[in-house]
A = this chain, B = another copy of it.
Amino acid sequence: MIDASVLETEFHAAQEAVTRQGDVVRSLKAAVKDGKAEKSAVDEAIEKLKDVKLDMERKKKAYEDATGKTSGANKEAFRAAMLNALERRLFFIPSFKIYGSVAGFYDYGPPGCAMKQNVTQTWRNHFVLEENMLEVECPAVTPEIVLKASGHVERFTDFMVTDVKTGDCHRADHLLEHALEALLEDARNPPSPKAAHAARDLLARVGELGAEELGAALTQYGVKAPDTKNDISAPFPFNLMFKTSIGPRGDLVGYLRPETAQGIFVNFKDLLYYNGSKLPFAAAQIGNSYRNEISPRAGLLRVREFTQAEIEHFCNPADKSHPKFQSVAEVAPLLYSRALQMGEEKKPQRMALGDAVSKGIIANETLAYFIGRTYLFAQRIGLNPDRVRFRQHLQHEMAHYAEDCWDFEVECSYGWVECAGLADRSAYDLNAHSSMSKVELSAYERFAEPKEVDVLSIVPNKKELGKLFKKDAKAIADALEAMGECDALEMQQKLAAGQPVPFKVDGQVFDMQPGFVEIKKERKKMSGRNFTPAVIEPSFGIGRILYCVFEHCFYTREGDEARSVFRFTPVTAPVKCTVFPLLQRAELNERAEAMSTALTRERLSNTVDTTGTTIGKRYARTDEIGVPFAITIDYQTVEDSTATLRERDSTAQVRVPLAELPGLVRRLTDMELTWEEVAAKYPAQAAPAQDE
């Protein structure tokens, strides 16, 4: 990984050199006017100015390539060039293309599919294997009750408006955002400072508006349907889950899961037992989730079917330390804390995670540990560490039950994109499923030594209840025993004061009289306690991460915009090595095929390119899909059983004995060996002409 700060320094130094040389030219010109210098000296200085300008442009490009810090127009051009390369080389394909496609669905073609596999397997190794997580796989089709418990049936909605004439559907918040942005950017008819302020303020709050406020704002700004300019309906909530029906009777409603997490929660009890009833432990799931987006845009970033990789780390809410925290305490990603977001500069800062926890910026070690592991993962798959950050949720962004949330954001041509969310969700999810399923989802903690604890005791007088309420008596007794502490103590107070208390059971109301139930708090010696574990949830969107890898790795060869390259790390590259017979000759083709077989034996995905085009064109083709290494079989191979090995980004070549090549490429791909080490060991092949 090239360090962007080095490139930045070089770029700024070159800028200064241009300024200095400009001054030289100007003063020389003045001197010529005054007859104090020769015209030839000016010409020479101008030539030098051209050189340093060229150098500066080159260094600017290198810096911009490494950091993506390009202007808006550049960003569009960059994205267009990259998407062109991705689509041309079949990294992805709009799904059902021969039928005109359906918005929000994409297929991964061969190199895209291979890369998605590589990123997913790297994730699995980095998280599941190294942390000994319990991986599960649950179905996507989910019965309604599970998603009622999680709140998705009621609340997993976006506000929609329809075109009153065509019936076309639009996301209300997107329409409002576009209207406000257009207003603010209208150069011909700029808004008053007051109006601009109001628009900017509203723009920042669009995501928080309810249906009524959203409707009022759409009316206030006179928002119409895009394209048709027809009137739009009032906003109403649209549930984003795909609905289906399970079984032939048609009476069991199912949805495609909107996230994989619920599958882990419903299995908590079995997983805890599998883990020897010990906390903390983490479970993970990689699988597809589904969101029926109202009008998907932003290409690969907002799709209707996507792969998630989610972790649920279950722990004692009283102890969120992490045994391996020290291993990431020195890791220092860009942190964009709440304070920095509210501050003057609005810029994230690098900070060691150990400091962030000790200063209370990150709520606990476990959350910080996963932030550190996520940052290391990002680097392993080839994201630019200067273009990833962790942004803390502002208070109003978090659900009421969440303790702390950080989004893992990656900078790309669309701006900063959320690629993972890391949230301390407290005991919310387990409590929700426990209360819906009536199955206790808790863990047991044995105290170091027995403790005196106040315990609520509710003892219904079953005889009395039976006499009075007959067949309802059992349900009443059960309901009494299940009362929460607050309700129970209130009832106890009233009963103690001799008041009857109306008590609702299954929709019916029964009057409780003094003597029907004994409620008291007792001091008991307890050797342990049951509690609902807290959940810390790192949740990754694999497709978005992959898209950002594409953006961070795409560049064009210096001096040739048409030659695009992906600088994928060997771990993520779709194909690890290409084998080129220099010419279409049987003796070269045979050796190329043998090399391919040897590479396959090393589990290295590889291709042989026997097309007769120039080796330069073939190198360009392999650069385009980001193959890190290329082996060329030439006539020297026939003589001395050596071949050239080329590295993609430097285009440097070395000559290596055939027998050593498969193992060498294996170690380069596993990142056990660097190209520099290889270049130092083997003789360089001075054949840059081959790369033309």
Contact = CB atoms under 8 A, between A and B. Distances in A.
Given A107-B139, A266-B98, A274-B110, A167 B246 contact: no
A136 interface: yes
Nearest to A255: B244
A592 interface: no
A113 B266 CA distance: 16
Contacts of A116: 137
Contacts of A276: 611
A142 interface: yes
Interface stretch (A187-195, A508-516, A599-607, A676-684): A599-607
A2 B4 CA distance: 59
Nearest to A148: B99
A288 B243 CA distance: 18
Interface stretch (A88-96, A217-225, A564-572, A661-669): A88-96
Interface of A: 89-90, 93, 95-99, 102-103, 105-110, 112-114, 116-117, 124-125, 129-130, 132, 134-143, 145-146, 160, 167-169, 238, 242-249, 252, 254, 256, 263, 266-267, 269-271, 274, 276, 288, 290, 292, 294-295, 304-305, 433, 436-437, 439, 441, 600, 603, 605, 607, 611
A12 to B, nearest CB: 41
B113 A267 contact: no
Main secondary structure of the interface of A (DSSP, over half): mixed
B129 A96 contact: no
Nearest to A605: B129
A618 to B, nearest CB: 12
A244 B267 contact: no
B129 A603 contact: yes
Given A96-B146, A129-B600, A134-B110, A292 B140 contact: no
A252 B611 contact: no
Nearest to A142: B96
Given A102-B143, A141-B242, A288-B288, A136 B160 contact: no
B98 A269 contact: yes
A304 B248 CA distance: 12
Contacts of A140: 140, 288, 305
Given A242-B245, A304-B246, A97 B607 contact: no
State the 6 A-B residue pairs at the shortest beta-carbon distance, nearest first. A169-B248, A98-B437, A108-B137, A139-B305, A110-B134, A98-B439
Contacts of A437: 98-99
A132 to B, nearest CB: 7
B304 A109 contact: no
A540 B106 CA distance: 24
Contact of A256 (B97, B134, B141, B292): B141
A316 B244 CA distance: 41
A238 B248 contact: yes
Contacts of A136: 93, 107-110, 113
Contacts of A134: 109-110
Contacts of A90: 270-271, 274
Contacts of A290: 141
Given A136-B107, A242-B141, A160 B292 contact: no
B97 A266 contact: yes
A225 to B, nearest CB: 14
Contacts of A145: 96, 99
Contacts of A106: 139
B245 A167 contact: no
A145 B99 CA distance: 8
A580 to B, nearest CB: 15
Contacts of A93: 136, 267, 270
Contacts of A107: 136-139, 263, 267
Nearest to A242: B244
Given A107-B139, A138-B95, A249 B102 contact: no
A271 to B, nearest CB: 8
B137 A113 contact: yes
B267 A97 contact: yes
Given A90-B274, A439-B98, A105 B244 contact: no
Contacts of A112: 137
A148 to B, nearest CB: 10
B247 A292 contact: yes
A98 B268 CA distance: 10
B135 A113 contact: yes
A106 B168 CA distance: 39
11 contacts: A89-B274, A90-B274, A93-B136, A96-B266, A99-B437, A102-B246, A107-B263, A110-B135, A169-B248, A248-B295, A288-B288
Nearest to A108: B137
Contact of A103 (B110, B243, B247, B436): B247
Given A95-B138, A109-B274, A242-B244, 11 more contacts: A90-B271, A93-B267, A96-B142, A96-B143, A105-B141, A107-B139, A107-B263, A129-B603, A243-B245, A256-B256, A288-B288
Contacts of A605: 129
Nearest to A604: B129
A113 B264 CA distance: 13
